[in-house]
């Protein structure tokens, strides 16, 4: 290993961490996986269960529509649950859950399997079949995981909509996916209040027309409207005598869809990223095993929400495929007090914590004393995801939370990639703010406009040059957009939408998005969604949204609004517009600031130049404005 040759500030793993790690020598694994990446993925696939093995590991005859593990037969939910039942893991905890109100539930692998089978039987009783879409809209409660796995078991395609999204965001996603069933909770606890999920869903359902049945899980117990013939309580159905804990599973083709997940793109409406069974399973299983170094006795906590890709891959599928004990909580990091997380780590003896920089920065503000009153000595590894982590937050996390003994896995990846792409492993020397190098077997680069690699430390487009098993397969129902958005700027390479630089040691440093995606508190939002919510308000003629740096959130949304004739600008109207965006898209999309303007900078073809707005707001030079209309 070239430990001593690295430039800049470097944090080396302790001997103890290296000794425990599955991968003690990253270079060795990397050499093997680089020489023969198909052999590497095949070896990993062989650690999982298949009803029938593949003809070919990779079929790249129809690029960029790659196929992995062709003709193999598999079921991901079977690999998450059933396979463990024949091992000593049967009675091991699969899931520990703590509600915001102090509720505690635990499920062994046996118990989770039982609950998932019952859930699947309920879905079947509603007529859900292989290939049908099911939208899931819930808070962080065990049933969200059960609903996802139940779909996977019977071959239905789940489409989870984050519980922080609101009416329009939900209805748009239901409509686009043509879901037949909506699984929703009555409400969710959040900072001592109740988010009325069922009520939001009712409003969303008035705007779209495909849902035949709504399955309602009781969480908060507040009164909700139940539409006869359409809405059913989950607890009523699951207790019917014919809902047993045996549920036959669907044998799936490796390339059958597993789920769709909506994410914000460069332009227009959110798009449904499609992931399939076999490759996705192999990718998330392998990356979690090696990066978070899952051992039998570990208690692992990914503090994300199951409604985002981080939750799909690393709360639900990755940990269960690895037979790990996963922790899930409902609520917020700082409610009722800023020690909620630290007290849970101590209480449940968490060994691995995986979260986002925004959460670290938020908790940092409350000071070290809140952390130090708890015994966090169970922690072995830490993780970060969602946005670049600033070195100051990295060091606080490392020193105050990890007591300088827990390496930080800064994982760069996307909804589209399905799994970690740039990431350290525990035995890799770290530089605060860098995710180090691509996962073994994955070739990535930073290139200029013409596709040439840029010099060390120069900024450029981040691209992926080799296919990987858990790559998205397409945009659901829109293969053309898939090709255009990801594979046309540099044919043959996947365009990530991020800019980055690579230092002299080959370490990657992410700079940020180069498109119209704004990362707010690690959440991915599109300017288009915020703007279309604004113009759906009767007072608004035109709107433009940009992201500006924010100390805790990373970026905050600033919106510029042109009012229709007859409307007067006022602080009251600005507030009304902010609330309107929260109601339509979700509280996370609420603009930090709204400015009323008389015109917006546009190109001659009428495209809003957000770059110019941003430069103006930051007091910077807007650069080339030759295409500006006036």
> Is residue 172 close enough to count as binding ligand PRX by CB under 6 A?
no
Between residues 319 and 435, which has the closer beta carbon with respect to ligand PRX? Answer: 435
Q: How far is the CB of 339 from ligand PRX (least distance, A)?
A: 26
Biggest CA–CA distance in the chain, Å, is: 71
- Comparing CB distances to ligand PRX, the nearer of 78 and 413 is 413
Per CB under 6 A, 386 contacts ligand PRX: yes
Give the nearest distance from C-beta 53 to ligand PRX in angstroms: 30
- β strands within 218-298, DSSP E: 231-233, 252-253, 257-263, 271-276
Minimal distance in Å, beta carbon 417 to ligand PRX? 8
State the minimum distance, in angstroms, from the CB of residue 21 to ligand PRX: 20
Contacting ligand PRX (CB under 6 A), which of 414, 485, 527, 532? 414
> Which among 451, 433, 344 has a CA at the least distance from the CA of 393?
433
Q: Does 410 engage in binding with ligand PRX (CB under 6 A)?
A: yes
Q: What's the angle, vertex CA 393, arms to CA 391 and CA 399, rounded to 5?
A: 95
310 near ligand PRX, rule: CB under 6 A:
yes
Q: With CB under 6 A, what is the number of residues at the site for ligand PRX?
A: 22
- The yes or no reply on residue 412 touching ligand PRX (CB under 6 A) is yes
Give CA–CA dist 211/261, Å, rounded: 18
Q: Which range in 143-151, 365-373, 491-499, 622-630 contacts ligand PRX by CB under 6 A?
A: 491-499
Residues numbered 222 to 281 that lie near ligand PRX (CB under 6 A) are 263
Question: Cα–Cα distance between 390 and 555 in angstroms, integer?
Answer: 13
Contact 182, 205 (CB under 8 A): yes
Tokens standing for residue 29: 């694994």
Helix or strand or coil: residue 287?
A: helix
Alpha carbon dihedral 232, 233, 235, 236, in 10-degree steps, equals -50
Cα distance between residue 145 and residue 147, in whole Å: 5
Segment contacting ligand PRX by CB under 6 A, of 11-19, 155-163, 381-389, 474-482: 381-389
Binding span for ligand PRX by CB under 6 A among 214-222, 223-231, 407-415, 582-590: 407-415
Instruction: Figure out which of the listed residues 118, 133, 524, 578 binds ligand PRX, where binding follows CB under 6 A.
Output: 524
Q: Is residue 411 involved in binding ligand PRX (CB under 6 A)?
A: yes
216 and 185 in contact (C-beta within 8 Å)? yes
Hey, what are 629's tokens?
A: 């209309």
Nearer to ligand PRX, 308 or 560 (CB): 308
Tell me which of 141, 274, 510, 585 binds ligand PRX, using CB under 6 A: 510
- Who's near 554: CB < 8 A, 6+ residues apart? 357, 358, 387, 388, 519, 520, 521, 522
| CB contact burial 415-435 (16+ within 10 A = b; e otherwise) | bbbbbbbbbbbbbbbbbbbbb
Q: How far apart are CA 94 and CA 81, in angstroms?
A: 9
Asked if residue 496 binds ligand PRX (CB under 6 A), the reply is yes
Min CB(72)–ligand PRX separation in Å: 26
Q: How far is the CB of 419 from ligand PRX (least distance, A)?
A: 9
Q: Please, what is the minimum distance in Å from the beta carbon of residue 314 to ligand PRX?
A: 9
Determine contact, residues 184/211, Cβ cutoff 8 Å.
no
In the complex with ligand PRX, the residue whose CB is nearer, 435 or 441, is: 435
State in angstroms the smallest separation of the CB of 523 from ligand PRX.
7
**What is the chain's Cα-based Rg?**
24
Pick 280 or 413: Cβ nearer ligand PRX: 413
Looking at the Cβ atoms of 283 and 388, the one nearer to ligand PRX is 388
CB 623 to ligand PRX: min, Å: 21
CB of 483 to ligand PRX, least distance (A): 19
Candidates 328-336, 404-412, 474-482, 596-604; binding stretch for ligand PRX (CB under 6 A) = 404-412
- Distances from the Cα of 18 to the Cα of 103, 179, 405, 528, angstroms: 37, 47, 11, 46
Report d(CA 356, CA 341) in Å as an integer. 13
Q: Find the shortest distance in angstroms from Cβ 450 to ligand PRX.
A: 22
The correct pick among 121, 213, 276, 415 for binding ligand PRX (CB under 6 A) is: 415
Q: Which of 155, 187, 319, 435 binds ligand PRX (CB under 6 A)?
A: 435
For 50-61, letters b (16+ CB in 10 Å) and e give beeebeebbbee
Q: Of the candidates 144, 211, 309, 360, which one interacts with ligand PRX according to CB under 6 A?
A: 309
Which one among 250, 330, 498, 531 touches ligand PRX, defined by CB under 6 A? Answer: 498
Q: Are strands 593-596 and 554-563 parallel, antiparallel or unpaired?
A: parallel
Is 218 or 614 the residue whose CB approaches ligand PRX more closely?
A: 614
> Among residues 459, 440, 433, 428, which one has the least CA distance to residue 8?
433
Cα within 13 Å of Cα(297), Cβ side = 5
Q: Which of 497, 526, 554, 601 binds ligand PRX (CB under 6 A)?
A: 497
CA 497 from centroid of its chain's CA atoms: 16
Residue 133 makes contact with ligand PRX by CB under 6 A: no
CB closer to ligand PRX out of 421 and 594: 421
Contacts to ligand PRX by CB under 6 A: 263, 309-310, 384-388, 410-415, 435, 496-498, 510, 513, 519, 524
């Amino acid at each position: 290993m070239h430990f001593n040759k690295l430039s800049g500030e470097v944090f080396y793993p302790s001997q103890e961490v290296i000794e425990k790690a599955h991968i003690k020598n990253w270079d060795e694994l990397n050499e093997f996986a680089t020489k023969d990446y198909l052999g590497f993925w095949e070896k990993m696939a062989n650690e999982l269960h298949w009803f029938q093995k593949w003809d070919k590991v990779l079929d790249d005859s129809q690029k960029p529509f790659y196929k992995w593990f062709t003709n193999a037969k598999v079921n991901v939910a079977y690999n998450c649950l059933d396979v463990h039942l024949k091992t000593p893991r049967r009675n091991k905890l699969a899931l520990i859950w703590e509600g915001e109100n102090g509720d505690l539930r635990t499920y062994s692998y046996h118990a989770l399997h039982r609950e998932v089978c019952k859930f699947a039987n309920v879905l079947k009783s509603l007529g859900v079949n292989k290939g049908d879409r099911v939208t899931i809209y819930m808070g962080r409660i065990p049933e969200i995981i059960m609903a996802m796995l139940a779909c996977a078991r019977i071959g239905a395609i789940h489409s989870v909509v984050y519980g922080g999204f609101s009416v329009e965001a939900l209805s748009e996603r239901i409509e686009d996916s043509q879901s037949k069933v909506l699984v929703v909770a009555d409400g969710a606890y959040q900072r001592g209040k109740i988010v009325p999920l069922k009520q939001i869903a009712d409003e969303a359902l008035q705007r779209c027309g495909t849902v035949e049945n709504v399955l309602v899980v009781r969480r908060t117990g507040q009164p909700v409207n139940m539409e006869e013939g359409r809405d059913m309580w989950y607890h009523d159905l699951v207790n019917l005598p014919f809902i047993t804990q045996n549920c036959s599973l669907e044998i799936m083709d490796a390339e059958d869809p597993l789920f769709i997940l909506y994410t914000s793109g460069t332009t227009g409406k959110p798009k449904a990223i499609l992931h399939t069974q076999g490759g996705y399973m192999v990718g998330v299983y392998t990356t979690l095993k090696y990066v978070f170094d899952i051992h039998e006795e570990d208690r692992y906590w990914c503090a994300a929400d199951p409604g985002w890709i981080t939750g799909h891959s690393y709360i639900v599928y990755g940990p269960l495929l690895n037979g790990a004990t996963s922790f899930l909580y409902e609520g917020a990091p700082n409610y009722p007090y800023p020690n909620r997380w630290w007290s849970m780590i101590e209480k449940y003896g968490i060994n691995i914590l995986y979260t986002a920089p925004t959460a670290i920065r938020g908790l940092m503000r409350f000071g070290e004393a809140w952390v130090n009153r708890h015994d966090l000595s169970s922690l072995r590894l830490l993780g970060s995801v969602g946005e670049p982590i600033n070195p100051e937050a990295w060091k606080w996390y490392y020193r105050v939370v990890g007591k300088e003994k827990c390496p930080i896995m800064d994982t760069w990846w996307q909804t589209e990639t399905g799994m970690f792409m740039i990431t350290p492993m525990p035995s890799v020397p770290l530089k605060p703010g860098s995710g180090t190098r691509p996962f073994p077997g994955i070739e990535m680069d930073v290139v200029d406009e013409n596709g040439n690699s840029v010099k060390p430390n120069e900024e450029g487009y981040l691209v992926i040059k080799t296919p990987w098993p858990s790559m998205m397969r397409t945009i659901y129902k829109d293969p053309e957009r898939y090709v255009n958005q990801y594979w046309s700027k540099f044919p043959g390479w996947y365009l990530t939408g991020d800019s980055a630089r690579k230092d002299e040691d080959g370490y990657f440093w992410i700079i940020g998005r180069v498109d119209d995606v704004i990362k707010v508190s690690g959440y991915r939002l599109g300017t288009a969604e915020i703007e279309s919510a604004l113009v759906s308000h009767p007072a608004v003629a035109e709107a433009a949204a940009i992201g500006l740096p924010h100390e805790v959130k990373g970026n905050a949304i600033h919106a510029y609004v042109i009012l229709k004739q007859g409307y007067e600008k006022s602080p009251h109207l600005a507030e009304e517009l902010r609330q309107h965006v929260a109601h339509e898209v979700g509280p996370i999309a609420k603009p930090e600031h709204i400015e009323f303007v008389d015109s917006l900078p546009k190109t001659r073809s009428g495209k809003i130049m957000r770059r110019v707005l941003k430069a103006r707001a930051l007091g910077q030079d807007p650069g080339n404005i030759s295409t500006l209309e006036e």
